[in-house]
Amino acid sequence: MKKEKGFEGYLNELEEIVDRLESGEADLDASIELYEKGMKLTEKCREILKEKKLKIEILRKKTEEGYVASDFEKAEPVDEAEKADENDEDKSEKEKENEDKLF
């Protein structure tokens, strides 16, 4: 079974590809293959970062509620637009409460 390299491994491989492309040592066909491989590695890195960002968001948001690391596997991605709508609704309710207190 082939073990995945992880973020750092993918990033190092991507840096090697960039160095080879910048050096001009590869012919056109090899350069295109390197570019394609680099794009795939970039996507893998983005996916890993996206997953890590989600874990951090969950930690920041849910720590007070007693969540543990095992809950990450069950977590759904956070929809930023939905989160913004919820924040707007919360603000509106708070603004109404504050107005009621003033009058």
Domain count, the chain: 1
pLDDT of residue 58: 83
Residues of the chain with pLDDT under 70: 1-3, 63-103
Going by C-alpha positions, the residue among 16, 11, 80, 20 that lies closest to residue 46 is: 11
Contact in structure between 21 and 31 (CB atoms under 8 Å): yes
Structural domain span for residue 98: 6-102
Contact in structure between 13 and 30 (CB atoms under 8 Å): no
pLDDT of residue 61: 78
Say what the pTM is.
0.56
Answer yes or no: is 58 within a domain: yes
Answer yes or no: is 1 within a domain: no
Contact in structure between 72 and 55 (CB atoms under 8 Å): yes
Contact in structure between 26 and 20 (CB atoms under 8 Å): yes
Answer yes or no: is 70 within a domain: yes
Answer yes or no: is 43 within a domain: yes
Q: pLDDT tens digit string along 79-96?
A: 555 555 555 555 556 555
